[in-house]
Amino acid sequence: MNHMSMISLRVLVLSVSLTLLAGEQSKAQTSLQRVRIAYSSTGVNYVDLFLAKEKGYFREEGLEPQLIQMSSNIAITANIAGELDGQAAIGSAIRAIQRGAPLRVVVVTLRRPLFWLVVRPEYRAVKELKGKVLGISTIGGSQHLRAKGMLAAGGLDAEKDVTSIQINDQTMQLQALANNSVQITALSPPWVAVARDKFKMNILDSALERFAGIDSGLVVAVKMLQEKPDLVKKILRARAKGNRYYLENEREGSEFLARLYKVDFKTALESYRASKPAFTSTGIPTDDEIKEHLANDAQILKLPEPVQPSKIVDFNLQREVVRELGIK
């Protein structure tokens, strides 16, 4: 075989090899099952899902995640309709379930609410905020309720004394605060630190220290839970791995926050440490935490009595995940 023939043969072999490799990669990609999960706003509240995506934990379960930002109320409708495989903002969903929505909470990320009452620099007390404007992601959502609770603790009736307007994301709420379109908001880490340090905003209260209440996790349609439990479990496994990695690795978790939200490491580390006490390691809050949350909701919704937890949550699959992954 002459020199030119050898070169041609090598080119042919290389071409076939690349074609086969591309085919295998394409096959691997197409074999992943796409899952659509909604979240309501940026912030550390949903770091478990974003970290699970970056670390490849969804892919380990054969899933290709689409994390889609949308308001909680829209997510509830889409979830019920089967257009989503789950939603991560669970506070509004729990209240919808209490009104009869066919949804279930299958895991809880936060056992305490991660919101701080942030106001413009010229205000130093809640009572000075009468007649001002509150910016929140979803009217009636968890952020809104916690903001109203902190205002009430300071002596204001948020229904009468302030005007609430909907601004989709916390970054946009912070910008509205900076340009004085709103004077009040309730921010989560890392944006609360950014508001304080970059924009010199004042922090008047913390929902983490003042209120009980579960928040963030995963809510799925009852139909999906009944018909596709294996898929729900795969999502739960990926999320659990992300949550565990975040809680067990302070530096790496903080570096991830810095990359995800484009903040400096000092801000990310402070945010990590401030928010960590709110996280559940197992994804399953205590019975008392669930009952307290539902009792508070019953007052808000003016229900004659709290709804039974069994009609709101179903942690059976999460318990299996905790056992299989050895999570403590």
Question: If you average pLDDT over every residue of the chain, what do you get?
Answer: 90
Burial class, 172, CB count within 10 angstroms (exposed 0-12 / middle 13-18 / buried 19+)? middle
What pLDDT is recorded for position 97?
A: 95
What pLDDT is recorded for position 317?
A: 98
What pLDDT is recorded for position 27?
A: 45
The mean-pLDDT minimum among 15-29, 93-107, 204-218 falls in 15-29
Residue listed under structure tokens 């309709």: 81
Mean pLDDT throughout 196-215?
Answer: 92
Q: Which CATH number fits domain 116-210: 3.40.190.10, 1.10.1060.10, 3.30.2010.30, 3.60.15.10?
A: 3.40.190.10
- Structure confidence at residue 202 as a pLDDT band (50, 70, 90): very high
Query: Cα–Cα distance between 276 and 259 in angstroms, integer?
Result: 18
Asked if pLDDT for residue 24 goes beyond 60, the answer is no
Three-state DSSP class for 191?
A: helix
Query: Cα–Cα distance between 239 and 58 in angstroms, integer?
Result: 8
pLDDT tens profile 138-155: 888 889 999 999 999 999
Query: Cα–Cα distance between 114 and 318 in angstroms, integer?
Result: 23
List helix spans (H) across 162-285: 170-178, 191-197, 207-210, 222-227, 229-248, 250-261, 265-275
What pLDDT is recorded for position 312?
A: 96
Mean pLDDT throughout 248-252?
Answer: 97
Asked if pLDDT for residue 296 goes beyond 80, the answer is yes
In sign, the C-alpha dihedral spanning 209, 211, 216, 218 is: positive
Residue 122 burial (CB count, 10 A): 9
Mean pLDDT throughout 173-182?
Answer: 97
Query: Got the DSSP string for 69-133?
Result: E--HHHHHHHHHTTS-SEES--HHHHHHHHTT-SEEEEEEEESS---EEEE-TT--SGGGGTT-E
Query: Cα–Cα distance between 98 and 306 in angstroms, integer?
Result: 9
What pLDDT is recorded for position 300?
A: 81
What pLDDT is recorded for position 39?
A: 95
- Structure confidence at residue 80 as a pLDDT band (50, 70, 90): very high
Task: Decide whether 32-112+213-325 matches 116-210 in CATH topology.
Answer: yes
Question: Phi and psi for 106 in degrees, rounded to 5?
Answer: -110, -10
DSSP lists the bridge partners of residue 219 as 87, 105
The mean-pLDDT minimum among 24-38, 45-59, 118-132 falls in 24-38
pTM of the model as a whole: 0.85
Q: Going by CATH, does the domain composed of 32-112+213-325 fall within 3.40.190.10? A: yes
In sign, the C-alpha dihedral spanning 94, 95, 97, 103 is: negative
Mean pLDDT throughout 88-101?
Answer: 93
Asked if pLDDT for residue 29 goes beyond 60, the answer is no
Cβ 91 vs Cβ 148: under 8 Å? no
The mean-pLDDT minimum among 17-26, 69-78, 216-225 falls in 17-26
CA neighbours closer than 13 Å in the CB half-sphere of residue 11: 6
Residue listed under structure tokens 């926050």: 257
Six token digits for residue 101: 């929505």
Residue listed under structure tokens 């309730």: 186
Cβ 149 vs Cβ 178: under 8 Å? no
Query: Cα–Cα distance between 85 and 10 in angstroms, integer?
Result: 48
Question: Phi and psi for 18 in degrees, rounded to 5?
Answer: -65, -40
Asked if pLDDT for residue 221 goes beyond 90, the answer is yes
Mean pLDDT throughout 27-47?
Answer: 86
Query: Got the DSSP string for 298-327?
Result: HHHHT-SSPPPGGGTB--HHHHHHHHHHT-
Q: Fill in the DSSP letter of residue 249.
A: -
Domain ranges of the chain: 32-112+213-325, 116-210
